[in-house]
Amino acid sequence: MKLHGYFRSSAAFRVRIALNLKGIRYEDAFHHLRKGEHLKPEYAALNPQKLLPTLQLDDGALLTQSLAIMEYLEETHPNPPLLPKNPVDRARVRALAMIPACEIHPLQNLRVLKHVRETYGQDEAGSFAWARHWNEVGLQAYEDMLTWTAGTGRYSHGDTPTLADTCLVPQVIGAKRFSVDLSRYPTLMKIFEACMKLEAFDKAQPSKQADFEP
């Protein structure tokens, strides 16, 4: 299979982690977000939403939206599992995953920051302040979920990585770009550090991708 992504795309990063955790070999296709390569008709033909990533299967099928792709991987490559067995636990993992995926990242991706700058006359610092705000709101919610509800272990849920961790780690790395004070979220950061010790997370990070630019 081929993963259409970009080194800095937080959503592509999630899928890279899931592929690595499951030991699935894949080919990379990079689309330069800042140069707008994802907006070209060639990419729109793969993904009508013109967002990264897209997972292209060997038979040509095209999967979009990182969480939908990871659920597909879980269904077709169940080992090692990235969701627990019990339905209530699965709901907790998915709810955690959706904090970055629904409540943080969509509010601070490239197109939203551009819109904030162009619509409200903000400079880069202004748009970063916007991004920082939503990272802080969302990461605090994640921290509270970890500390207020049962199930947290070495990772976000139990002692093996789950879909929650595949979403958390890229968000933490993204938050650093916006100068978020991560010391406010000690539980979450401990889990982040534990994840980054795993090769599956480490080799998925932006700085280790072939299209990385400092």
Chain residues that interact with a copy of itself, rule: CB under 8 A: 45, 48-51, 57, 61-65, 67-69, 71-72, 75-76, 87-88, 90-92, 94-95, 97-99, 101-103, 106-107, 111-112, 115, 119-120, 122, 130, 133, 137, 141, 144-145, 148-149
Q: Which is nearer to a copy of itself, 40 or 115 (CB)?
A: 115
For residue 56, what are the β-bridge partners? 2, 62
Rg over alpha carbons for the chain, rounded to the nearest Å, is 17
Burial 148-159 (b: 16+ CB within 10 A, else e): eeebbeebbbee
Q: Measuring CA to CA, how many Å separate 21 from each of 45, 128, 162, 204, 214?
A: 29, 32, 9, 10, 26
Work out how close the CB of 127 gets to a copy of itself at its nearest, in angstroms, rounded to a whole number: 11
Work out how close the CB of 27 gets to a copy of itself at its nearest, in angstroms, rounded to a whole number: 19
Work out how close the CB of 67 gets to a copy of itself at its nearest, in angstroms, rounded to a whole number: 6
Work out how close the CB of 199 gets to a copy of itself at its nearest, in angstroms, rounded to a whole number: 26
Tokens of 170: 């890229």
Which residue has tokens 């978020």?
180
Q: Which is nearer to a copy of itself, 118 or 213 (CB)?
A: 118
